[in-house]
Amino acid sequence: MTLTPASLRWLQTDQAQPWLTQVTAHPPGDADLLATLTQLRRLLPAEQAAVLVEQARLRQEGAAKFPAASRMFFTKPLLAQASSTPLAEHTARRFRGQSWVADLGCGLGGDALALAPFANVLAVDIDPLAIALAQANAHALGCGAAVRTVQADVRLPAWRLPAAWADPGRRLDGRRLFDPERLLPPLSVLLAQHRRAIPDMGIKLMPGLPHAAIPAEAEAEWISLEGELKETVLWLGGLAEAGVRRATVLPAGVSLVWTGAQADLRLPCAWLYEPDPAVIRAGAVGDLAVQLGLWQIDAEIAYLSGDHVQLTPWARVWPVIEHLPFDLKTLNRRLRTLDGEVVAVKKRGSPIEPEAFRRRLSSRPGGRPLVVVVTRQGGKPWTLICGTPVSPEPDV
Ligand SMILES: C[S@@+](CC[C@H](N)C(=O)[O-])C[C@H]1O[C@@H](n2cnc3c(N)ncnc32)[C@H](O)[C@@H]1O
């Protein structure tokens, strides 16, 4: 079943709302899907039963991105492309003080909803179903008055706006797009719109955006959420500090600006730090080292070390038990002496395949949990034997 503008209109009626509330409270899983549909079909047309069940299941899935998902409306592809609330709220804050912001390619409204507390929003999309969803979601969350919608092509040269946010599509036929010029619409089209008639603009792009694609006049912000790099945002005009490269870590909400600072280079010591991927991508590992009083173990590798532990949103931290030049025989001898279980192998700057390498290591099930890190130190292959991370992370 795929949602249509007509079935979405039905879902918003007084007749459908009690059903939707009821099914949303108990969304069927795969096992009881057929039983729930059969039960609903006794009371409602098959199409309505299917659309209710689909919405309830998508609302459950949407809760990973939206705290208010149980009141929202989704399609699977637009949910996959939607900005999650913490990311959207962070970027929306830059528009504080603007009277109007256009959301160019609004999808189901993830960003438009976050922009609404700061400005009036003109939500634009080429897809009529996206427009209907953005409208429905704005009404459902009580910001219908601040969000106007219009179905249109953002590539048209007709736009003349004080400020805009753009989140171009990054998927085509279910596949991710990695080239900024293949985005929907392409980055160059959005930049041309900015230069022509939209002075203040934010453009959300893939986390791996090549640095060469960043215009000189832009500020670039790499944003991670829960330790995962999510996006690069280009800020332009009055929203930007031109030339700035910034790493932002959410949910902590801290940000670090690249200055080109160089870290000292030394052997590892008692603690190993792995910087957040936003810091690495912004090229700010040296800045982080200086800020935290750490050093780098290799000029080319984004591992830092220090002689005391600091719990920081900027990095994950492992206690170093010992470190040695890379040699499998010596490593296995040391692991037998430590009588540990190797629970994970991590690597940076090494060609090993971690899981295959782990199977070649001496490891006693139930022994002291150990993490083996394979990397380089001063240009040479190096190994660290660590304990489990002390940062509050769910896994190693
Ligand atoms: C990544 S999604 C936006 C998701 C949205 N920011 C959210 O959080 O829900 C990109 C959207 O751009 C729209 N789009 C692609 N090309 C467009 C164009 N030329 N004009 C208008 N909208 C377009 C797509 O229909 C899609 O809904």
Q: What is the mean pLDDT of residues 16-41?
A: 95
Q: Which of 62, 91, 109 is the endpoint of a domain?
A: 62
Give the helix/strand (H/E) hosting 51: helix 46-62
Distance (Å) from CA 246 to ligand 1 centroid: 25
Residue 214 lies in a domain: yes
Distance (Å) from CA 344 to ligand 1 centroid: 40
122 lines ligand 1 (CB under 6 A): no
**35, amino acid identity:** A
Q: What is the CATH number of the domain that holds 212?
A: 3.40.50.150
Contact (Cβ atoms closer than 8 angstroms) between residue 347 and residue 354: yes
What residues contact 227, with CB distance under 8 A and at least 6 apart? 276, 277, 316, 393
Ligand 1, from 83, 104, 106, 170: best to mutate by most atoms within 8 Å of Cβ? 106
What is the extent of the structural domain holding 368? 271-386
pLDDT at 358: 97
118-131 burial by CB neighbour count: b if 16+ within 10 A, else e?
bbebbbbbebebbb
One DSSP character per residue, 64-105 reads TT-TTGGG----HHHHHHSPPHHHHHHHHGGGTT-SEEEEES
Q: Which of 254, 288, 311 is the endpoint of a domain?
A: 254
225-277 pLDDT tens trace: 999 999 999 999 999 999 999 999 999 999 999 999 999 999 999 999 999 99
91 lines ligand 1 (CB under 6 A): no
**pLDDT for residue 395 is more than 60:** no
116-143 pLDDT tens trace: 999 999 999 999 999 999 999 999 999 9
222 plus 276 within the same structural domain? no
191 plus 306 within the same structural domain? no
pLDDT at 159: 78
99 plus 217 within the same structural domain? yes
246 plus 281 within the same structural domain? no
48 plus 83 within the same structural domain? no
Residue 360 lies in a domain: yes
84 plus 193 within the same structural domain? yes
168-180 pLDDT tens trace: 999 988 889 999 9
125 plus 236 within the same structural domain? yes
**pLDDT for residue 1 is more than 70:** no
What residues contact 346, with CB distance under 8 A and at least 6 apart? 274, 354, 371, 372, 373, 374, 396
88 plus 213 within the same structural domain? yes
Residue 394 lies in a domain: no
Q: Indicate the burial class of 288 (C-beta count within 10 angstroms; 0-12, 13-18, 19 or more).
A: buried
For residue 171, the ligand 1 atom closest to its alpha carbon is 1
Angle at 159 (CA atoms; ends 155, 162), nearest 5 degrees: 130
Nearest to 108 by CA among 140, 154, 60, 146: 140
Compute the half-sphere exposure of residue 110: CA atoms within 13 Å on the CB side of its CA: 28
161 plus 198 within the same structural domain? yes
Distance (Å) from CA 147 to ligand 1 centroid: 16
pLDDT at 174: 83
**pLDDT for residue 393 is more than 60:** no
Indicate the number of domains in the chain.
Answer: 3
**pLDDT for residue 396 is more than 50:** no
Residue 259 lies in a domain: no
pLDDT at 173: 86
127 lines ligand 1 (CB under 6 A): yes
Is residue 21 classed as helix, strand or coil in its secondary structure? helix
- CA–CA separation, 347 and 352 (whole Å): 8
